[in-house]
Amino acid sequence: MSTVTPPLPYRVAETRAETADTRSLELVPAGRELPPFSPGQFAMLYAFGIGEVPISVSALHGPHGGLVHTVRAVGAVSAALYDLRPGETVGLRGPFGTGWDLDAAAGQDVLVIAGGIGLAPLRPVVHAVLDRPDIYGRLGILVGTRTPGDLIYRGDIERWRDRAEVGVTVDRPGPGWHGSVGVVTTLLDAFALRPDRTHALVCGPEVMMRHTARTLMGRGLAAHRVQVSLERNMRCATGHCGHCQLGPLLLCRDGPVVGYDRVERLLAVREL
């Protein structure tokens, strides 16, 4: 879907520190409201006077009923968004992108695999699956991060452990870390994967997604049962500028979520 909308003013209702460089912002409409988002879709967030960047929706309804976005400060625009305080205003366009195909996962086990900030666009999937246990089978949530301090949504993750099979692993343990160490795919060994009735939704750095998808296929999961979210640089988000092109796909319109069967070959090409 490429809904063309002008940026609408949204007010920051609440902010929440996730890690040293990452913050969640709950945004409520200051006037007109955007159409509803679905899990995996993203908005263009405009920090006034600085610029606009794509940010996934990390919860469809925050405590104040608003949209939640989780922003990691990596450059000028994301740092300005990270610095926003309650009461301040931001411009919002959207919803953009395909979103996770949760219909395909109906009646099946759902395996969510996230790397770093990649957990943000997957959090609404976890909410959706936990809200409808009658529709989905087992839920597995596997998360990999650089260090224990980089883990976002710690409180949520602890709560999810009661109702899902949750694994967290880090690349670099610090003192006091007693959990798993290693790449996220090592957590798969503890998950009794049923390849013919599982859908895997993967988001993280592209190399991590490729490695994860290949590992899943090595365990018998068909490529069309693996969805990945490809977050290449974007500008217009409406399918016009060509900035987000990956082969025949415009990722702002045909993505960011795509079946691995559609992109497996494209992701192995060095430059497209």
Partner 1 sequence: MSEPSSPLDFLPLVQRARLRAVGFDVSFPAGARLFDEGGEADRFWLLRRGEVALDICVPGGQPEAVMETLGAGQLLGWSWICPPYRWHLGARAVTAVQAMEFPATDVLALCAADPELGYALMRRFTGVVAERLQATRIRLLDLYAPHAGGPP
Ligand X SMILES: Cc1cc2nc3c(=O)[nH]c(=O)nc-3n(C[C@H](O)[C@H](O)[C@H](O)COP(=O)(O)OP(=O)(O)OC[C@H]3O[C@@H](n4cnc5c(N)ncnc54)[C@H](O)[C@@H]3O)c2cc1C
Contact residues toward ligand FES (CB under 6 A) are 234-237, 239-244, 250, 252
Q: Would you say 152 and 119 are in contact if contact means Cβ atoms under 8 Å apart?
A: yes
For the segment 204-243, give every residue that binds partner 1 (CB under 8 A): 204-205, 207-208, 211
Among 233, 248, 269, 270, binds ligand X (CB under 6 A): 233
Helix (H, G, I), strand (E, B), or coil: what is residue 211? helix
145 forms part of the interface with ligand X (CB under 6 A): no
115 forms part of the interface with partner 1 (CB under 8 A): yes
Instruction: Give the binding range for partner 1 (CB under 8 A) out of 43-51, 137-145, 234-242, 247-255.
Output: 137-145
Alpha-carbon distances of 190 from 100, 156, 215, rounded to whole Å: 25, 21, 14
CA Rg value for the chain? 18
* Contact letters for ligand X, residues 114-143 (x by CB under 6 A): ---x--xx----------------------
Among 19, 24, 38, 56, binds ligand X (CB under 6 A): 56
The helix or strand, by DSSP H or E, that contains position 259, with its residue range, turns out to be: strand 257-259
234 forms part of the interface with ligand X (CB under 6 A): yes
**Pairing state of beta strands 165-170 and 180-181?**
parallel
256 residue type, one letter: P
Residue 54 binding: pick among ligand FES, ligand X, partner 1, none (C-beta 5-8 Å cut-off by kind):
ligand X
148 forms part of the interface with partner 1 (CB under 8 A): no
Q: Give the nearest distance from C-beta 44 to partner 1 in angstroms.
A: 21
How many other C-beta atoms lie within 10 A of the C-beta of residue 160? 20
How many other C-beta atoms lie within 10 A of the C-beta of residue 95? 23
Kindly tell me which of 211 and 243 has the beta carbon lying closer to partner 1: 211
Q: Is the dihedral of CA 91, 43, 203, 232 positive or negative?
A: negative
182 forms part of the interface with partner 1 (CB under 8 A): yes
24 forms part of the interface with ligand X (CB under 6 A): no
**Pairing state of beta strands 67-72 and 139-145?**
unpaired
Q: Give the nearest distance from C-beta 252 to ligand FES in angstroms.
A: 3
Instruction: Give the binding range for partner 1 (CB under 8 A) out of 58-66, 136-144, 245-253, 263-271.
Output: 136-144
Residue 203: partners with Cβ closer than 8 Å, 6 or more residues away: 113, 114, 115, 118, 119, 121, 122, 209, 228, 229, 231
The footprint of partner 1 (CB under 8 A) covers 21, 72, 74, 115-116, 138, 140, 144-146, 150, 165, 167, 169, 171, 173, 178-183, 185-186, 189-192, 204-205, 207-208, 211
